[in-house]
Every structure is written in C-alpha cells, then in structure tokens.
Structure 1
Amino acid sequence: MITAAALERLTRFDGGKLPVTSVYLGLQPDRRALRSLSAQVSSLLHQIRPMAEDRSLDRDARLSVRADIERIEAEAGREPRPTGRALAIFSCSGRDFYEELELPRSVRDRIVVDATPWVRPMLAVLDEYHRTCVLVVDKESARTWELFADELEETSTLFGAALRKPQYAGWHGLDEYRVRNKAQELARRHFRRVATVLDDFFREGRFELLAVGGHDVEVSTFLDFLPPKLRDAVAGTFSVDPGTATTQDIRASAEAIVERYERDEERREVAEAYETQAAGGNAVVGLEHCLWAGSVAAVQRLLVHEDATAPGVVCDESGWLALSGDTCPICGRPTRRTDDVIDELAQAVIDTSGTVEHVAADTPLKEDVAAAHLRFPLPPPPD
C-alpha cells in the first residue's frame, strides 16, 4: 500500500554521493504476463549494467548500483507477484534503502539512476487519487481510516467519557434531567475533541477529503463542530451503526462517496476546459491540438477519457507528437510509430511537470478524447 509515510521516506531520502536506482514497470492482468516479470525487469536492468563497471564513477557508487541490480532481479523472481497495475522500485543498496510500491494505474517501463529517487511518474499517477480520511463517529467514540488508491488502513481510535445512567430518576425526574444534560455536554466535548484531531490531520497535509459515517442524527450534530475549512473537505456522509459495522461495510460506503466525488470533480474539470477554450483562453480541446500542446511543453493539466487509445507517431529527438507523419517537421528526422500516442502524450506531460487526469465520467471527452489546460498560448503548428 502507498502510505503517506512511504511517500515521505522517498521524497526525503538522500543517498549522499551514492545513486538511487528507480524502476517503473507496467503490469498486465493476465498470468502469462506476470510470469514474464523477471524478463521484463532484466531487460530494463540491462540498460544500466554498464554503470556497474564504469571506472569513471566512484567505486562505492559502482558497487551500490551493482547491488541494486542484483537485489531488484532477485525480488522480481519471488512470489507472490504484485497484483496492481504497475510497480515502482527504488533502491540504494549502499545506504540499505529499498522501497517497492504497487501503483493503481499502469505506467510505461522506465529506469533511471540519479542522485535522488525519481518519483515524478508515481506522483503523477497518485495525483488522480484523493487521500481520504474516513471517520465513523458517535457520541462516545470515533475511529478513523485512511482510504487511498483502493486501500483502507485504520489510523486512530478515540473514546469520549461515557456517562452511566442512574437506576432511578429522582424527585420529579430532576436527576434524570441533570444526567441528560451532563450526557449532552460530554457528547459535545467528545465531538469537539474529534474535530480538533481531524483538523490537525488536515493541517499536516495527511488528507484531502473527509467522509463521515454513523447514525444520521449524530453525524449531523458532529458536522456542526467542524471548522469551516474542514467542512469544505467533507466529500459526503453515510449511515452506519458504529457498534456493528464491519470494515468491509465502512470501506464500501466510503468508496462510493469518493467515487461520486471524483466523477463530479472530473465533470467540473472538463466543463472548465471547454468553457476556457470557447472563451479563447489557455485551453485546447481534441487530441490533435493536445498532441501539439504536448510537443511544445505547453500542457499544465491534461484530461484524457479513461482507457482511450490512438495510434500515432513520435519524434524521439524533438518530442514532436502527432497522429501521423513519417518525418518530424521540427528536426527533419524519421518518426517512430506507436500503438498508443496518448500514452506518449501523457508521459511527455509528466516529464515537463504537468499533470494528467484520466476521466471516467460521462463527458464530451467520450467524443473528443482529450482536452488540456495550457501554460501559455500555443504557437502555430508546423506544416
């Protein structure tokens, strides 16, 4: 599972003078493809084997890269095999650092040896997912989970000060009245404490969205204790009995909320791109225009209809992308044909610090395939 702690370890890791080997592997769902994982890894590692013998590198660096190759090969041959859509591996053997993470969306096979972990492709994939805090609360308890990329992990449990109800009500129910008021005050105190803990979570940047479950009346009461900024992060609520709900029940309810939120967000983003383009702003609609925008590194945010593919061409020298053309009009070199130029476009956007959103919602992208928010107006395309 990709946790906030794992991401922090990667982004903060420093090998000093020792390089870090970063490997990205796109995984296929069928068994035969999984069995070929070792060959897939070996082919990538072949690209960096000369570094392990390169005398221009420091001896410790060569030994670390050599050990990286050996460990990554060994791990690829072990069972059980990964079950995600992609695998990201980061290794710096000289610092005893190794991290292997499954990704929820496919990526292109790539390997990089650099001073720090190459996390941009992974962050681009994760940008499509919202790290959600799932809270199940009542007037006496609260439990939180982290929901991210189809994984649910419990993070904390809080209990309030429950008040035991007396056996007898007392004179004219006065004791019962006092007990009820005291119970309400304890519940309010508990809700305030839970809201403070959640506020700390979000201030630390641990979550983007909040999904709240419990009995409807108690959930509605609790929401009033949230500060305004935290209320804006509430993606939805769900009805559940905190005492009897299973983790599977909570996960299913939370995933349904996040699914609705993501589809609504996708529709909003697509609508904004079309409106900006229609008003003559920095946005384009249609695959051909997006390919040209990607060719000149103009794409800030690429929106692509989910699972859309299209054949095309790419120039590995200039980065020109198009639906057809044997010769690059920018540098004059022969182009390379590709079965999926949209994947090439997405990788080009990621490599130039843009972001990619795969849109599953029902939007005009079903017909137009792609749209993009731009950093700057596009220059005229080449003939």
Structure 2
Amino acid sequence: MLTDQDVRELLKFTSPHPVLSVYLNTDPTLGNKDSYRLRLRNMLKKVNLPQDEEAVERYIMQEYDWSGRGVVVFSCAPEGFFRAYALAVPVRDLVHVGDRPSVRVLADLLDSYGGYGVVLVDKQGARLFHFHLGELREQEGIVGEAVKRTKHGGASSLPGARGGTAGRTKHVDEVIERNMKEAVDFAISFFEQNRIRRILIGGTEDNVALFRSLLPKAWQSLIVGTFPMNMTASHAEVLAKAMQVGHEAETKRESQLIKDLITAAAKNSGAVIGLEDTLQAVNEDRVMTLVILEGFGQSAYRCTQCGYLTSRQQGACPACGGEMQEIPDAVDFAISRVMRSGGDVEVVHRNPDLEKAGMIGGFLRY
C-alpha cells in the first residue's frame, strides 16, 4: 500500500549512484505470472545495473503476491535503498534510470485515482468511504434519529396539514434536516482527516440535493459527480461506480482546465505554456499546478550543481555557472521538483488543444 508518506520519501531521495525505477503492469485480465516475468526480464535488458536488476527480479519472483494490478519497484543498491509497492490499479510498463526515483507514473496515478471521498446518504445517516489508488483506505458511518412516518389517513396526509405531504409532518422534516446536518458535519471531519481531493455523493436525487446544499462552498467545489445507489451497496459496488463517474467527470474537467490554461497563458495572467517557459517557472518554484499531456517527454539540459533546467543548450548554468548536462527527459525532473515544492501535477489524457499548445504548461503561484 502506497501512502502519502511513501511518496514524500521517494521525492526526497537522491543519490550520486544510479537509481532504478520499474513499473510493471500485472493486471490478471491481460496476462499471467509467466508472461509478466518474461516481460520484466526483457525490460531489464536495457539496464546495466546487475545488483539492482537482481533485487527487482528477486522481489517479483519471490515476494510479490500478485494480488494487485500493478507493481512499482525502486532500487539503488550502493545506497541500500529498495522500495516496492503493490498497486490495486494497472500501470504503464516503464524502466527508468536516474539520480532519483522516477515518480512520473505515480503522478499520473495520483491524479487519476487519488483521494476519492464517497458519501452514500439517506434521510437517517450516511456511509463514507475513502478510496485511494483503487483501494478502500477508510470506511465510516453515522446513523441519526429514525425517521418515522405517519400512517396514511391521518391528519398529516391532508394537503396543508402539518407539512401538506402524505406521510410527512413538520416533525419528520425536522428530523431529516437534523440527521442531514449531523451527516454533513461528520463527512467534513472525515474529508479533512483523509485529505480528500474529490467528492462523489450517492443516494436518491432528493437526498443528494439536500446533503449537497448543506455542505460549505469550499467542499461543494470538490464534488465531481453524483449517482443513484442504495445504502446497502458493497464497497466493491461503490468503488466501481465511483471510478466510472469520477473518470467521466475528470474528462470534462480536464477539457475545461486546458482551455483555462491556454487562455491565461495567452494573457500572461498566472499561467505559462510550452516547455521552456514552464521549465523557467519550475526553476523558480512558481508552479502551483503542472499540466502535462500523458506520455510527453523531451530531452533538455540540467545543471549538475543547482539543478537548473532548460530546453536550450548552454555552455554554463545561467543561474550558478555550473556545468550543464544533457538529460533524456526534463519532464520527469520537473514533476519531481513541483511535487517536492508542494505543487500538484495534472496528467491530461488525449487533448488536442494541449498538444497544439506545447504539450506542457502550468498555473503559477505568483
């Protein structure tokens, strides 16, 4: 299980020795153990780090339990550094060698599957779920006062009498609202404790609307979708529906995000677009949200002393005068630096507007 603390540790680790990063898709619906092991061996043929290769193969052959749909392994034998994480979501196959763990694929996974809070709500209570990288991390519930309806034929069934709706009284409405308010307070605490980044709400249309209206605006802004679902649904059913609705909402959100990015960059209003301008903002730790088209990478130059990045060949670092070294992929370094400085990374899937605009950009802090 990969935690936020694990990600922070990976971001902090650098080494004068090569660090091997391996991402392997182990989705059981697409292959078996033997086929994945063979693919791993073929991937490692590109690497010349015998100790690290042996450590990775040993983990996959002897320790990995094949219960997940993906696995990521980091190894730097001279530093005694080895980390392995089974994932409940599939990953793209990747082998990377650098001076630090490659978190590029993790950034994509965190953007697509990280920090989902799901609320199932009815008139009496709520069930809350925290799904992270396809795993159920936390589940809680709250039950309020029972909602007791009067029998048909009583005074409350007459239009205009104590609420005017059959089977509903003013007291019933008060109980429902009180239960909802308690559920909202409970949910806010749950969201804060689990650092929820996006929220989905399930239930009947009326219950979802009432719950949503009682949430503070700051939390309403994190709602990415709603859906009908019974309170007794299993967590597997909830996860499947949440991922479906979340993916659909994410596609729409990404489209609007790119439009906002391109417009803001054109007006020079808190955003940049294109590799060189983005790298300059990264150098200054000004990037609040880095936006990248999935799969984009480009060689560039990096200072061996201060880490300055540029897509332009330089004889010496313009920041400190240090030696500039060509690197195969500047995007990987940019992702790592933005995440280390507390920024977010948005990995956008199949967007022609971003492709035409330069493949990469960022919203700025200042």
Query: Is TM-score (shorter-chain normalized) higher than 0.5?
Result: yes
Counterpart in 1 of 2:40? 37
The CA deviation at 1:88 is 4.2
Counterpart in 1 of 2:257? 269
Distance 1:25 1:292, change over 3 A: same
Counterpart in 1 of 2:239? 251
The CA deviation at 1:278 is 1.9
The CA deviation at 1:191 is 0.9
Deviation by residue 1:8-66 (Cα, 9 ceiling, x = unmatched): 477589xxxxxxx98631225675454353786896874679xxxxxxxxxxxxxxxxx
Check conservation: 2:293, 2:351, Cα contact below 8 A: no
Distance 1:226 1:304, change over 3 A: closer
The CA deviation at 1:214 is 0.8
Paired residues in the alignment total 326
- State the AA in 2 paired with 1:24: S
Query: For residues 164-175 of structure 1, what are the structure 2 equivalents within 5 Å?
Result: 164=148
Mark the runs of 5 or more structure 1 residues left unpaired by the alignment: 14-20, 50-68, 92-96, 339-343, 378-383
How high is the sequence identity, in percent, across the aligned residues? Answer: 17
Check conservation: 2:282, 2:338, Cα contact below 8 A: no
Check conservation: 1:135, 1:143, Cα contact below 8 A: yes
Check conservation: 1:139, 1:218, Cα contact below 8 A: yes
Check conservation: 1:89, 1:99, Cα contact below 8 A: yes
Counterpart in 1 of 2:14? none
Distance 1:268 1:173, change over 3 A: closer
1:136 lines up with 2:120 in the alignment? yes
The CA deviation at 1:247 is 4.5
Match of 1:185 among 159, 167, 174: 174
Check conservation: 1:24, 1:88, Cα contact below 8 A: yes
1:242 lines up with 2:224 in the alignment? no
The CA deviation at 1:361 is 5.4
The CA deviation at 1:259 is 2.1
Match of 1:211 among 182, 200, 213: 200
Match of 2:332 among 347, 355, 362: 347
Q: Tell me the secondary structure at the aligned position of residue 206 of structure 1.
A: coil
Deviates more, 1:274-283 or 1:120-129: 120-129
Distance 1:166 1:110, change over 3 A: same
Distance 1:179 1:296, change over 3 A: closer
Match of 1:195 among 173, 181, 184: 184
Highest CA radius of gyration, 1 or 2? 1
Check conservation: 1:134, 1:146, Cα contact below 8 A: yes
The CA deviation at 1:206 is 2.4
Check conservation: 2:21, 2:97, Cα contact below 8 A: yes
Query: For residues 3-82 of structure 1, what are the structure 2 equivalents within 5 Å?
Result: 6-8=3-5, 24-28=21-25, 32-37=35-40, 46=50, 74-78=58-62, 80-81=65-66
- State the AA in 1 paired with 2:183: V
Distance 1:180 1:371, change over 3 A: same
State the superposition RMSD in angstroms. 4.9
Q: Tell me the secondary structure at the aligned position of residue 367 of structure 1.
A: helix
Deviation by residue 1:72-114 (Cα, 9 ceiling, x = unmatched): 65432135447545514599xxxxx97624375546535879x
Mark the runs of 5 or more structure 2 residues left unpaired by the alignment: 11-17, 77-81, 318-322
The CA deviation at 1:258 is 1.9
Deviates more, 1:224-233 or 1:292-301: 292-301
Q: Tell me the secondary structure at the aligned position of residue 161 of structure 1.
A: coil
How many Å separate the matches in 2 of 1:231 and 1:330?
51
- State the AA in 2 paired with 1:353: V
How many Å separate the matches in 2 of 1:213 and 1:171?
33
The CA deviation at 1:230 is 2.1
Check conservation: 2:302, 2:324, Cα contact below 8 A: no
Check conservation: 1:313, 1:336, Cα contact below 8 A: yes
- State the AA in 1 paired with 2:111: E
- State the AA in 2 paired with 1:37: L
How many Å separate the matches in 1 of 2:327 and 2:99?
24
